[in-house]
Structure 1
Amino acid sequence: MKNTALQSRLAEEVLGFIGQRKTLQLATLGEDGVPYASYAPFAVADDRLYVVLSDIAVHGLNLLANPRASVLIIEDEDSAEEYFARVRVNYQVRATQLKTESDAGNMALNHLEKRFGERPRRLSELADFRLFSLAPVQGRYVKGFGRAYTLSGGTLGGENIEHLREGHRPRVPATA
């Protein structure tokens, strides 16, 4: 996408959409390669998503075994105009566990506290909870049918945004 004004507007739109959501869907892989899907409340700072996850809920342990994961942030069903094309952004991410007593961990917890009160910090003090940074590798922003964009460059808004122009095509009937 060469139009930098349009690219900037779309990046702001993506960040605005993320800022309106409070939870994300998280898909992880266990050591045995078995996928696991869950959700978590999140905060945003420095082009990262921050979550506090319990080992009991599996996804925290999965991220320790395999830091590659997928995140989906999606429009609420109740406000969606079209169930088949809900507004959403997904990312392939790389997870890093943060020590809560580190500067980065404290910053992440401060952002989580701004959104959710004191609960994230209290949870992070329990032995079975871990604080993670989820750094985007690449993503996709979907605004509806025919309005999908790839996000690349390692930022939530996308340093590079490309419109997926192929679109949906009619199925060609099989011939006998």
Structure 2
Amino acid sequence: MKNKGLEQRLGDEIIDFLNTRKTLNLASLDEDGYPYASYAPYATGDECIYVLLSDIAIHGKNLKNNPKAAVQIVEDESEAATIFARIRVNYQVQAKHLALDSDEYKVGIEQLFQKHGERIHKLAELSDFNLFRLTPLGGRYVKDFGRAFAIAGNTLCGESIDRLRDGHKARIIVSEEAKAS
């Protein structure tokens, strides 16, 4: 996409959308490489996403063992103009388990606290909860039918956003009579 103004508007839309959601869908990989789908409350940080996960939860164990994952933040069904084209942002991410004594851990917990309230501090005090930084490796922003955009780069809005133009195509149905001729 060559239009930097449009790229900036789409980037602002993505950030606004992320700020209005509270949970994400998380696809992590188990020890055999099979995907496991779950959800988690999240907060955004400096070009990343923070999630606080328990070791009891399968996705918490999975991210400790394999940092490759994907997330989806999606418009609520009750808010969508159509259930078939809900607004959504998808990212492939690299997870990093943050050390309790790191500055980034403090920043991540504060971001989660600002978004979700005091429960975050109570969960962070439990020894089985771990904070993960999810760094985007690229993604996709979908606004509606035929309005999808590739997000390239390691930030929430990417270094570039390109419109996907290989849209939906009508299925051509050939009748039996036409096949016979």
TM-score by length of 1: 0.96
Q: State the AA in 2 paired with 1:154.
A: N
- Show structure 1 runs of 5+ residues with no match: none
Task: Compute the displacement of 1:100 (Å).
Answer: 2.4
**Which of these two proteins has the greater Rg computed from alpha carbons?**
2
8 Å Cα contact 1:148-1:164 kept in structure 2: yes
8 Å Cα contact 1:96-1:132 kept in structure 2: yes
What's the % identity of the aligned pairs? 53
Match of 1:169 in 2: 169
Q: State the AA in 2 paired with 1:157.
A: C
Summarize deviations over 1:72-111 as a string: whole Å, max 9, x none: 0000001111100000000000000011221010011011
Match of 1:57 in 2: 57
Summarize deviations over 1:14-73 as a string: whole Å, max 9, x none: 110000001101000011112111111111110110010012111011011110100000
Match of 2:109 in 1: 109
Task: Compute the displacement of 1:130 (Å).
Answer: 0.8
1:71 aligned counterpart, secondary structure: strand
CA distance in 1, matches of 2:172, 2:128: 52
Match of 1:5 in 2: 5
Q: Report whether the alignment pairs 1:31 with 2:28.
A: no
CA distance in 2, matches of 1:59, 1:22: 18
- Show structure 2 runs of 5+ residues with no match: none
8 Å Cα contact 1:54-1:60 kept in structure 2: yes
Match of 1:137 in 2: 137
Task: Compute the displacement of 1:121 (Å).
Answer: 2.3
Summarize deviations over 1:100-153 as a string: whole Å, max 9, x none: 221010011011111111212221221211100000000000000000000011
CA distance in 1, matches of 2:119, 2:102: 19
1:2 aligned counterpart, secondary structure: coil
Q: State the AA in 1 paired with 2:122.
A: R
Match of 1:125 in 2: 125
1:56 aligned counterpart, secondary structure: coil
TM-score by length of 2: 0.93
